[in-house]
Structure 1
């Protein structure tokens, strides 16, 4: 395909892949966790830490601490 022919990348919603960090239309690289980051955002992130979705960043034990199933008041046991 020659340069300048065909629809713009954002015209087709199936090909509309933008960077998750800067929302740019640059060359996207598949990051760990299924994120699509452009080359400018991916390379600095590889040096610091791998990209993971927000759901994997929060540990599950933190969510269980504030759940409704947890007792509101913890009383000491009646053991002698």
Structure 2
């Protein structure tokens, strides 16, 4: 059964929630739509994998081949709101 598509606002909230713990709340709330997540928040490979796993819990499994699409807030929101 196909998951109902979440709104862009819900998707962005999910992305920002998945980033909590890797940076201060101020850093996360100040993160721009197109800021590169890994370099801006200094996420290492394990941090990035943890972020993707958290995000998977909210929007369905994210395949490793989709990881490049998880580079910015905007690209994550686009991915989560895409009708898959």
Q: Give TM class, smaller chain.
A: under 0.3
Structure ranking higher in strand proportion: 1
TM-score by length of 1: 0.21
Compare relative contact order (CA 8 Å, sep 6+) and give the higher one, 1 or 2.
2
Structure ranking higher in helix proportion: 2
| Structure number with larger C-alpha Rg | 1
